[in-house]
């Protein structure tokens, strides 16, 4: 698979993650709208911004900087998802689906980081 297709695939998966995340957080209690929901949305949307920078950047070192930042955003999102599950804001099925989406993106990201480090 070419790098362009790989970048497009991770972008498509990330957009699916955003859509799923927005659907899920609508169901959170109002008391969480300006705390946990805000943090979840911040992690997801800043991740999108960093992903766009990584796709548009040509230098391997600069690209690695953005990819590592995206990795941090995804790690934060995992923590927020776990908290959401522990507080019973999401069901077991939502937790499994959401976590799998993030894991899939993390796996793709890991491959991308390795390919940049080989350059």
Model pLDDT for residues 14-69, shown as the tens digit of each residue: 999 999 999 999 999 999 988 999 999 999 999 999 999 999 999 999 999 999 99
Q: What is the secondary structure of 8-48 as a DSSP string?
A: HHHHHHHHHHHHHHHHHHTTS-GGGTTTHHHHHHHHHHHHH
118 pLDDT tier (thresholds 50, 70, 90): confident
Tokens of 45: 């949307």
pLDDT of residue 11: 96
pLDDT of residue 3: 62
Q: How far apart are the first and last CA of the chain?
A: 17
How many independent structural domains does the chain possess? Answer: 1
7 pLDDT higher than 90: no
8 pLDDT tier (thresholds 50, 70, 90): confident
What is the rounded CA–CA span in Å between residue 13 and residue 108? 10
The CB-side HSE value for 33 (13 A sphere, CA atoms) comes to 5
Domain hosting 16: range is: 3-117
Residue 30 sits in a domain whose CATH number is: 1.20.1440.60
**How far, in whole angstroms, is CA 47 from its chain's centroid?**
6
pLDDT of residue 5: 63
98 pLDDT higher than 80: yes
């Amino acid at each position: 698979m070419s790098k362009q297709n790989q970048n497009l695939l991770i972008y498509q998966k990330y957009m699916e993650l955003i859509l799923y995340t927005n659907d899920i957080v609508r169901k959170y209690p109002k008391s969480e709208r300006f705390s946990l929901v805000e943090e979840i949305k911040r992690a997801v949307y800043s991740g999108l911004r960093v992903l766009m920078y990584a796709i548009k950047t040509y230098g391997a070192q600069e690209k690695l900087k953005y990819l590592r930042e995206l990795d941090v955003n995804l790690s934060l999102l995992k923590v927020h998802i776990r908290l959401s599950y522990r507080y019973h804001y999401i069901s077991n099925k939502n937790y499994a689906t959401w976590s799998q989406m993030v894991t899939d993106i993390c796996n793709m990201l890991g491959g991308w980081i390795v390919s940049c480090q080989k350059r």
